[in-house]
Amino acid sequence: MFDPSLLGRLSFKLAMPDQAPLPAGRNWLGIAQERDAMLYVPSGLDTTAEVPLLVMFHGAGGFPEKVLPFLEHHAEQRRFLLLLPHSMLPTWDIVIGGNGPDLERLNAALTKVSSHFRIDPKHFGFAGFSDGGSYSLSTGISNGDLVSHVIVFSGGFMSVFVQQGTPRVFIAHGLVDEQLPIETSGRAHASKLKAAGYDVEYVEFNGRHIIHPPIVELAMDFFLMDKR
């Protein structure tokens, strides 16, 4: 039988937690001895209710602690869980050769989080920067029956073999991106997704290949718009 994971499909399913909530702050999930995933839990989180979850994928050569500072205070102030996976190689498997071990690790990380918290299916987002943005876009569109929001900060490409569901999509790209030209990445992705019927919010900013804090603020508004 053909393995759906080869098409980027997650096997993870939302479920009721069967373990106590993890403490506030930074928690390593223990799904691997090396290159583990981190979960940031905001203080004062109401763990009796469904909670938003945002998964943030780092860029090439990155790691959880590198992208955490851009989102940690948003998670704390706006009370959402922040999951930061770590690619098994210097960048994500889909960039190197196709879906594989990183998708398996993502399944494991999501299952671990779901065992401790009840995830809000209306606010379950994938986000990422650069190669992580490509991973977020590709995996989010492939699992749009599970993921409600897809956020792309300066992503380079979109590799989608199967489209499922209709997640809302936020794409931001710098006008003078020196690594991934805006014409062939941000603009092209937004145009293709809009033509396919997706609800897309597209933002261009006067900057290079960076995570731009004001754009992150807009993306968090996009993710949590109806949670205010």
What amino acid is encoded at 6 in this protein?
A: L
Q: DSSP 3-state assignment of 27? A: strand
Task: Determine the pLDDT at residue 183.
Answer: 96
Rounded to whole angstroms, the Cα distance separating 119 from 13 reads: 11
Helices 64-78 and 213-223, packing angle to 10 deg: 50
From residue 139, how far is each of 75, 170, 195, 217 by CA, in Å?
Answer: 22, 14, 19, 23
- pTM comes to 0.96
For residues 48 and 89, the answer to whether their CB atoms sit within 8 Å is no
Written as tens digits, the pLDDT of the chain (228 aa) is 557 888 889 999 999 999 999 999 999 999 999 999 999 999 999 999 999 999 999 999 999 999 999 999 999 999 999 999 999 999 999 988 888 899 999 999 999 999 999 999 999 999 999 999 999 999 999 999 999 999 999 999 998 888 889 999 999 999 999 999 999 999 999 999 999 999 999 999 999 999 999 999 999 999 998 765
- 105 Cβ contact partners less than 8 Å away, ≥ 6 residues apart: 31, 32, 37, 85, 86, 88
From residue 25, how far is each of 22, 83, 102 by CA, in Å?
Answer: 9, 12, 24
Helix ranges (H only) for 115-212 are 131-142, 186-195
- 44 Cβ contact partners less than 8 Å away, ≥ 6 residues apart: 24, 79
